[in-house]
Amino acid sequence: MNKTAIYALLIALLLPLTSYFIVKNLSTSAVNIPPHFYVDSVIHQSKNGKIETDTVWNKVPSVTLVNQFGKTVAWNEAKNDKGNKIVVANFFFTSCPTICPTLTSNMKWLQESMKKSQKVGDRTADYVQFISFSIDPERDSVSELKKWADRFQINPINWWLLTGDKKSIYDLCINKMKLGLVDGEGVDTSFIHTDRFVLIDRNSVIRGYYHGLDSTSIAKLSEDIVLLKLEKDKNRESFFTDKLELIGVVFLLTLVGLGVLLRILRKTKK
């Protein structure tokens, strides 16, 4: 094997390894993944002789309510063939004369902007569920929700309008989604009226709050939904998770060993 062939072989072996570390560094530094909100606890445990810290994030619990078709659902039942969906939630009421129509219109725009990657067929995004909770369930019956849905031509495939027990809905909004704490927003506990959209990941952890009347904030929410879709699910780890660095080291050692072997072969021929 001549010198040119040896150099070509070394470059061919080294290039994939170099590319991996470049892409890995770019992917971790250039993308701003939506942050987690509200820590439940921090766990310190020993793993392979090292102390590792794992944060347990507060999860939004599910409540059982009734959708615009009269079907009883638990909102964490929103799933596809890969598991739980990402959830975008907001709060409204059908007799609202001010912000609610605009909130629903903006949610509709958001729903229509989220598409599957497939080119043909039904392109409705099956990885995200939109949920609008009525804050006036005493007046917002199933029929009223259906009228609201028809008014705005809501696609029911991945958008529920929910009504039900008022105490459960208000507890979800104030104590579980913590809307009264966002930017010092004063939420009236007797009648909630907030313009916020809440982004919740597949693990029921809050990942962001967005102004539902602000086009810039809605555009940011659209971007963050896509980022969460691409985010690795720790509960669905593959065989290669946390092993890529080890594979890289083994590959590099193989490369060095091959170089030593070629050098020995050249000396033997001489």
Domain that holds residue 73: 56-230
Do both 96 and 129 map to the same domain?
yes
User: For position 240, what pLDDT does the model report?
Assistant: 45
Q: Which residues contact 221 (CB under 8 A, 6 or more apart)?
A: 88, 110, 197, 199, 208, 210
CATH number of 71's domain: 3.40.30.10
* Residue 41 forms part of a structural domain: no
Is-contact 225 202, C-beta < 8 A? no
Is 46 a domain residue? no
pLDDT above 70 for 17: no
Together in a domain, 117 and 216: yes
Number of neighbouring beta carbons within 10 Å of residue 250 = 11
91 and 130 fall within a common domain? yes
Q: pLDDT at position 241, please?
A: 47
pLDDT above 90 covers a percentage of the chain that reads 50
- Do 167 and 259 lie in a common domain? no
User: How many folded domains does the chain comprise?
Assistant: 2
Structural domain includes residue 206: yes
Residue 259 within a domain:
yes
* Range in 65-69, 95-99, 150-154, 264-268 the model is least confident about: 264-268
198 Cβ contact list (under 8 Å, min separation 6): 87, 88, 89, 90, 177, 179, 206, 208, 209, 210
pLDDT tens digits, residue range 40-90?
A: 888 877 777 788 888 899 999 999 999 999 999 998 888 877 789 999 999
| 51 domain residue, yes or no | no
Question: Which amino acid is residue 210, in one-letter code?
Answer: Y
The model's pLDDT over 132-180, given as tens digits with 9 standing for 90+, comes to 999 999 999 999 999 999 999 999 999 999 999 999 999 999 999 998 7
Q: Are residues 169 and 134 located together in one domain of the fold? A: yes
Q: What distance in Å separates the CA atoms of residue 38 and residue 61, rounded to the nearest whole number?
A: 14
pLDDT of 212 > 70? The answer is yes
Tell me: do 61 and 174 sit in the same domain: yes
The predicted model gives 113-128 an average pLDDT of: 75
Q: Are residues 262 and 199 in the same domain?
A: no
